[in-house]
């Protein structure tokens, strides 16, 4: 374990060192070595370069939250609506999978036309990306429910509602949690991409702004900040998933 950690540190140090050597001999406008990212990160976090950073960060976080809530709500509703009646899910699942396979960025221009340059289009894009893993997880989960368990439950006098609560929900929990986590990651991606492609506020907007002004070091620092945001959110989701998994196995 300790060896692996040491090896990881070595790899990271090697990468940073190589990056430093390679970038420091090239055009400083385009190539930013770590030695310049570090102070830039200090400027960015110290709110010297972008005094409104916190506001932008807040806008992004809010957009992610709203987008995720909508994606989960729509995803669960559609997933159960299509998955619970027999065979309906089988009809729609290939269509949904095909839609999911289309690079979602192609939808973004039309979302901007519909929802404008403000947060609405970013939220819509986050919803669009985050919604698919949730729907598909619900459908896959329901398909994998052992029909025999439903028969057993019916034999014990369980009606459709009780079957849903006592059999379907616990049976799909693991699949559903994985889908919810993937959906959250994609929601963040959707919102950030939306902001980069065209916005007036948000972390993505700042990244695009710094990049547009050739403040390349700031741009890298802000990108790292976005990375941290994604890692923190995914880490929180992983933690919640683990907790929920243990809880459903333990209590049920």
Partner 1 sequence: MRPVTDAHIEVRAVAKQWLTRDHPVPALEAVSLDVAPQEFLTVLGPSGCGKSTLLSIIGGLASPDTGEVRIAGRAVTGPDPRQMAMVFQDPGLFPWRTALENVEFGLELQGVSASSRRERARALLEPVGLRGFENRYPRELSGGMKQRVAIARALALDAPILLMDEPFGALDEQTRLLMGEWLLGIWARTRKTVVFVTHSLQEAILLSQRIVVMTARPGRIKASFEVALATPRDLDAPAAATLRHALWDAIRDESRRALDGDR
Q: Which residues bind partner 1 (CB under 8 A)?
A: 146, 148-149, 151-158, 162, 166-167, 170-171, 173, 248-249, 252
Query: What's the min distance (Å) between Cβ of 94 and partner 1?
Result: 21
Query: What's the min distance (Å) between Cβ of 145 and partner 1?
Result: 11
Query: What's the min distance (Å) between Cβ of 37 and partner 1?
Result: 48
Complex with partner 1: residue 4 or 252, whichever CB lies closer: 252
Structure tokens at 157: 């006098």
47 Cβ contact partners less than 8 Å away, ≥ 6 residues apart: 53, 54
Q: How far apart are CA 119 and CA 141, in angstroms?
A: 33
Q: Taking Cα atoms as reference points, which of 115, 123, 119 lies closest to residue 187?
A: 123
18-54 burial, b if ≥16 CB within 10 A, otherwise e?
Answer: ebeeebeeeeeeeebbbebbeebbebbeeeebbeebe
Q: How far apart are CA 38 and CA 218, in angstroms?
A: 10
Q: How far apart are CA 120 and CA 215, in angstroms?
A: 28
Query: What's the min distance (Å) between Cβ of 173 and partner 1?
Result: 7
Alpha-carbon separation of residue 56 from 152, 193, 205 (angstroms): 54, 14, 8
155 touches 167 (CB < 8 A): no
Rg (CA), the chain: 23
Complex with partner 1: residue 103 or 159, whichever CB lies closer: 159
Q: How far apart are CA 181 and CA 37, in angstroms?
A: 31
């Amino acid at each position: 374990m300790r060896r692996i950690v040491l090896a990881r540190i070595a790899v990271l140090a090697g990468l940073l060192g190589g990056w430093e050597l390679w970038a420091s001999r090239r055009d400083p406008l385009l190539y930013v070595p770590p030695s310049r990212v570090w102070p830039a990160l200090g400027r960015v976090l110290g709110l010297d370069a972008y005094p409104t950073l916190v506001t932008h960060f807040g806008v992004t976080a809010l957009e992610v939250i709203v987008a995720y809530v909508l994606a989960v709500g729509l995803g669960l509703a559609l997933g159960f609506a299509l998955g619970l009646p027999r065979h309906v899910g089988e009809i729609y699942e290939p269509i949904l999978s095909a839609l999911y396979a289309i690079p979602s960025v192609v939808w973004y221009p039309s979302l901007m036309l519909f929802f404008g340059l403000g947060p609405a289009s970013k939220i819509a894009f986050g919803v669009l990306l985050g919604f698919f893993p949730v729907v598909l997880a619900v459908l896959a989960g329901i398909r994998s429910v052992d029909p025999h368990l439903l028969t057993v439950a019916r034999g014990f006098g369980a009606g459709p509602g009780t079957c849903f609560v006592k059999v379907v929900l616990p049976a799909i929990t693991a699949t559903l949690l994985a889908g919810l986590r993937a959906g959250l990651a994609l929601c963040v991606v959707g919102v950030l991409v939306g902001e980069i492609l065209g916005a007036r506020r948000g972390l993505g907007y700042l990244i695009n702004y710094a990049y547009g002004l050739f403040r390349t070091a700031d741009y890298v620092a802000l990108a790292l900040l976005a990375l941290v945001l994604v890692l923190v959110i995914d880490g929180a989701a992983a933690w919640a998933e683990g907790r929920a998994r243990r809880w459903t196995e333990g209590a049920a």
